[in-house]
Amino acid sequence: MTSVSIIDMAVINEFKKDHRIIDLVTKCGDKSVGFLSLNSEMHYNGIGGLQLEITPTNSTISENNNENKRLLGVIYGIGMNVNNILGAGIFTTPGIVWKNVKSPYIVLGLWLIGGIVSLFGSLIYTEYGAIHKDSGGETIYLATAYPKPYLMFSYLFSFMFIFVIRPGIICAVLQSAAQYTWYLFNDVPFAESSNCNLTEINRFNPNWIIKLTAIGLLFLITGYHLLSNKWANKINHTLAIIKTILLVVIAFGGISRYKNTNNWTTPPEGEMFKFTSYSIAIISVLFSYNGWNNLNYSLDEFRNPEERLKKSNIYSVGIVTFLYLMVNIAFITAVPLERINNDIINETIAVDFFNIIFEGNTTGMKILSFCVVLSAIGTAASSIWSGSRVIVTAAKSNFFPIFSPQLKSLNNKFNTPVTALLAQLGWCTLIMLVVGSTALIDNFILYTSVAMFCSWIFYVITSLGLVILRRTSSTDLAYPFKVPLPIIYLFILFGFITLLLSFWGIDSNCPKLNLLFIIISFIFLIIGFLLWFGLFYWRHLEEQRKEDRISEINEQVEIRLAAISESQNNRRTRTL
């Protein structure tokens, strides 16, 4: 045992409570002395005064997380990304976009612009993938681009993704699935009136039935993800195939059996340009393209990720853009304009399309409507699966003190993140119950607006971070792929325009709702910032203080060891 009288007992007790492990051991004659670190455990013996007994301890922990990971290629990457992007939005938003901008040519222009912007964004994230070559997405990118304040942007992104962005997408998709489910059992599709009464409590009417149906689907999807990862993946892949086939059927079915070419030649009625209308149209288009960055969360599963990520992103976004343009051409060609240009926001345009294609044959209409429901369920399932994994990743970074150990754990029997899935289930259920019971509003638009507004805040911040990295990096960023600066600036510019347009509101008939989704977004951003500072950053400062104290103790121990060594050498010299 080595006695070190210069060490403060209060400091010793402080570190004793932290249960740390010694990671560096030095031999000094017959004395074994360990240096303290934030990964050290100290064993103390206070007998005979201020004595520090430091026992060498082996703390090596080996992890082989990547042993069982598959090595994926371009084809699988394209399929994975197409599945991530294709969602319920394409079955819901075309009617919203068409109603708001009126001109079919402007509609196609917006969908084309949405594809180009998504391609630009995916290229920016491709360069990030070349820099890091590992999974993690924005959490890692923001930490690299903005190291100070300590992990603030990473924490805010994780918080907003878990509590706002991903739940908003899940709720919007399930809202769409519930509306098409309603149609399966009724003669007319369900649509909500844009009645603007924020204080009236809904009675048990079709609005509540839609909400409860959406919640039921949420429980169903979460249930099979709780029980088995293997079967969840099989179900999700099957739903992805159904989704892709359905879009192809709609695209070619509508173009080959058109019924209303007047939509392309009849001048649109009413005001052509309104900020409010274009705001919701752009947000709706961007919602349908959301998911173009999802491959960056799976980079550790790719061979040569920077090259394969580039090809996968370019081809997948191109395929989705082509499909979306074809589907919108089919809808505009087949569906009568009067079905869209009315006071009801038509979120079930596919039902009207099927009605025209099958010429009133209810069996065919119901079958394809059921396929739309399955497609929406597949999209929600993909979001629920990835959302729970983001919760686990954030918990591993201890972003949620107290709850992190439970949230990051996997069930021993099913090997699934049960706690994370249940937490996500409870939060999404609460959102749908609150929104469905307190306001007669278009819930789908509210969900998508909140999710997209928050998403684009971080898309812009992340893209700016790439410019900052290029200017501040001490080494030349010579990677296999480097996105041209004009693309980054154009993407950032479009992001700012999108965020500014959002301030013109989402519903011209309901002024009270115009800034509701922005208010909700900023409330959660403020909450996230307070949690980062109070629960995370403050703890980091405390850890930094302890680390500084440990460094001071190490220096003191080094001085003491040098003195001991010198004393032993002097004794040997005198002996000789």
Q: Which residue has the higher pLDDT, 274 or 527?
A: 527
Domain stops at, among 481, 514, 547: 514
Q: Return the percentage of the chain with pLDDT > 70, whole number.
A: 73
pLDDT band at 425 (very low <50, low <70, confident <90, very high): very high
Q: Are residues 243 and 301 in the same domain?
A: yes
Average pLDDT across the chain, whole number: 75
Residue 422's CB is within 10 A of a number of other CB atoms, namely 15
Q: Are residues 11 and 142 in the same domain?
A: no
Residue at 109 is within a domain: yes
How confident is the model over 440-457, as a mean pLDDT?
A: 81
Domain that holds residue 118: 74-514
3-class secondary-structure state, position 185: coil
Helix axes 443-472, 275-289, angle to 10 degrees: 70
Residue at 572 is within a domain: no
Domain stops at, among 497, 514, 531: 514
Q: Are residues 271 and 302 in the same domain?
A: yes
User: Is the separation of the CB atoms in 334 and 353 below 8 Å?
Assistant: yes
Q: Which amino acid is at 487?
A: I
Residue at 68 is within a domain: no
Asked whether the predicted pLDDT for residue 249 surpasses 90, the reply is: no
Task: Return the CATH number at 321.
Answer: 1.20.1740.10
Q: Are residues 153 and 166 in the same domain?
A: yes
Residue at 573 is within a domain: no
Q: Are residues 2 and 83 in the same domain?
A: no
Q: Are residues 386 and 428 in the same domain?
A: yes
What residues form DSSP beta bridges with 336? Answer: none
Residue at 66 is within a domain: no
Cis omega (within 30 of 0) for bond into 94? no
Q: Are residues 495 and 539 in the same domain?
A: no
Give the pLDDT score at 120: 96
Q: Which amino acid is at 375?
A: S
Give the pLDDT score at 274: 67
Torsion sign (Cα): 311, 329, 282, 213: negative
How confident is the model over 301-324, as a mean pLDDT?
A: 85
| Listed ranges 47-61, 242-256, 312-326; the one with the highest mean pLDDT | 312-326
Token representation of residue 58: 């082996």
Q: Are residues 537 and 510 in the same domain?
A: no
Q: Which amino acid is at 439?
A: A
**What's the predicted TM-score (pTM) here?**
0.76
What residues form DSSP beta bridges with 302? Answer: 72
* Number of domains comprising the chain: 2
Q: Which residue has the higher pLDDT, 275 or 2?
A: 275
| Listed ranges 75-84, 277-286, 567-576; the one with the highest mean pLDDT | 277-286
Asked whether the predicted pLDDT for residue 32 surpasses 50, the reply is: no
Residue at 271 is within a domain: yes
Q: Are residues 336 and 276 in the same domain?
A: yes
At 16, give phi and psi (nearest 5°).
-65, -35
Helix, strand, coil % (nearest 5) of the chain?
70, 5, 30
- How many residues would you count in the chain? 576
Residue at 576 is within a domain: no
Q: Are residues 235 and 340 in the same domain?
A: yes
Give the pLDDT score at 523: 95
What residues form DSSP beta bridges with 31? Answer: 28
Residue at 437 is within a domain: yes
| Weakest-pLDDT range from 199-208, 474-483, 502-511, 514-523 | 199-208
| Weakest-pLDDT range from 160-174, 348-362, 521-535 | 348-362
| Weakest-pLDDT range from 104-118, 189-203, 302-316, 538-552 | 189-203
Helix axes 74-85, 305-334, angle to 10 degrees: 40
Distances (CA, A) of 65 to 62, 70, 411, 413: 10, 12, 17, 19
Distance (Å, whole) CA 369 – CA 23: 62
Distance (Å, whole) CA 570 – CA 555: 23
Q: Are residues 240 and 310 in the same domain?
A: yes
Task: Give 256-259's long-range contacts (Cβ < 8 A, gap of 24+).
Answer: 257/334, 257/357, 258/333, 258/334, 259/333, 259/334, 259/356
Q: Are residues 520 and 530 in the same domain?
A: yes
